[in-house]
Amino acid sequence: MTSLTRERKPVRPMGLDFRRSVQDRIRALAAERGLDGVLLLTPANVFYACGFHFSVNERPIALYIPLNGKPTLFVPLLELENAEPVEGVELKIYEEFPGIVHPVVWMVEESGARKIAIDLLDARLVGPIEAMVESLVLEDFAAPCRYIKTAEELELTRIAATYADLCLERLLLNGGDIISQGGTELDLYADSTSFALAELKKNYGEAFAGTKLGISSSVHTGPRGALPHGATGHSKPQRGHTLISGVGCSLGGYHAESGITYVVGEMSAEQRRIMEALEACDAAGVAALKPGTLCQDVNVAALAALKDAGLGDTIRHRIGHGMGVEGHEAPWLAPGDTTIVAPGMVFSNEPGVYRPGIDGYRTINTMIVHADGVEIPSRLQADHPIETRIISL
């Protein structure tokens, strides 16, 4: 069993030089389209392009990136003090939402742009804004920049993956005692998540203050495991139940995942057979994830392993999704996504088997694409072969 501690690594949040490089890439895309600038309204895009992490609510916050000059960060008055430390931007403040003039309409007017792209816009605002400008392009210019991560971004992803693993290590170590004492899924969740979060904050809380830093988790067992997004509840795991736990960790705003299916008490031959099929599916996904491949083709290749094991009717979802400044983001390893896989992309690998009324199984690995192969920074599955995935009572 691996250690239930983590060493602090000498990393810092992404800095001003990185944000400026992002802005320059967005400017280049805007220039190719003959635009004056780009207004980013999606919270993840605002964070990505200027580093401002904020509480998302009905009051819009946006970053306007002109072809020339300093970007403008638009915030409501109540966020003034939170936004003042953001480097490399000019601040403009509106009083309140919804306002006499809608804040987004005001932002476009303040930008002075005649030809503008906006990443996300309420349909009710399209007409008023089109009447103000010469050209309105509804397109996310930040998304393709986010697909390919830098070495610094990937290092934050690697570290985040180790803390997702840590949550699952704690669950394996303490789960038996909690279950034996009559504990519920919620008890298992609270113990494992709080432990991993405390270790994460101990090592990185000070250096990464003001960024997204956290652990999210789920625990569901027995027949409830057949719900892919089953909520953690008051159910008490029983001997022979499968126990699915999926964990996401964010460090400096960058996400990674790890997930496992344990068995409570003892593993049956059928449970082992299904876990072996998950393992084959995971391996097929890794093998297919090569630069130049279409994302949708990786999904087909991976899920073929479950179908070959006679489990095709238990599939409920794609094999994976992109990760970065959001836990779920494009590109998608799913039908219909024709994005070409490239080095620097980060994906989840999530084989799942769901048998309603019986049980469920899912594992999750984080995958980093390189020119010569796939890196797996989440190591829990590699460190714990199938026969060891038993919570002893």
- The candidate with the shortest Cα–Cα distance to 322, out of 299, 304, 355, 305, is 299
Q: What is the CA radius of gyration of the chain?
A: 23
Dihedral of alpha carbons 159, 161, 164, 165, sign: negative
Helices and strands in the chain: count of H runs, count of E runs: 11, 17
- The candidate with the shortest Cα–Cα distance to 360, out of 369, 350, 370, 346, is 350
Residue pLDDT, tens place only, 94-149: 999 999 999 999 999 999 999 999 999 999 999 999 999 999 999 999 999 999 99
Q: What is the rounded average pLDDT of the residues 353-381?
A: 97
- The DSSP secondary-structure symbol of 290 reads -
Question: Percent of the chain beyond pLDDT 70?
Answer: 99
Q: To 10 degrees, what angle do helices 16-32 and 43-50 make?
A: 120
Region at 42 (left for phi over 0; alpha for psi -120 to 50; beta for the rest): beta
The runs of H, that is alpha helices, within the chain are: 16-32, 43-50, 80-83, 103-111, 123-130, 143-147, 151-180, 185-204, 269-288, 295-308, 380-383
Q: How many CB atoms lie within 10 A of CB 323?
A: 26
Q: What is the rounded average pLDDT of the residues 263-274?
A: 97
* Phi–psi pair at 318, nearest 5 degrees: -60, 170
Query: Is the distance from CB of 362 to CB of 351 less than 8 angstroms?
Result: yes
- The DSSP secondary-structure symbol of 356 reads T
Query: Is the distance from CB of 160 to CB of 251 less than 8 angstroms?
Result: yes
In SS3 terms, 316-338 reads as CCCCEEECCCCCCEEEEECCCCC
**The pLDDT of residue 2 is above 80:** no
pLDDT at 1: 47
Residue pLDDT, tens place only, 175-217: 999 999 999 999 999 999 999 999 999 999 999 998 999 999 9
Q: How many CB atoms lie within 10 A of CB 249?
A: 30
Domains for the chain: give ranges and CATH numbers: 16-145 (3.40.350.10), 148-391 (3.90.230.10)
The H or E element that residue 204 is part of is: helix 185-204
Q: What is the mean pLDDT of the chain?
A: 97
Q: Could you tell me the pLDDT band of residue 3, with boundaries at 50, 70 and 90?
A: confident
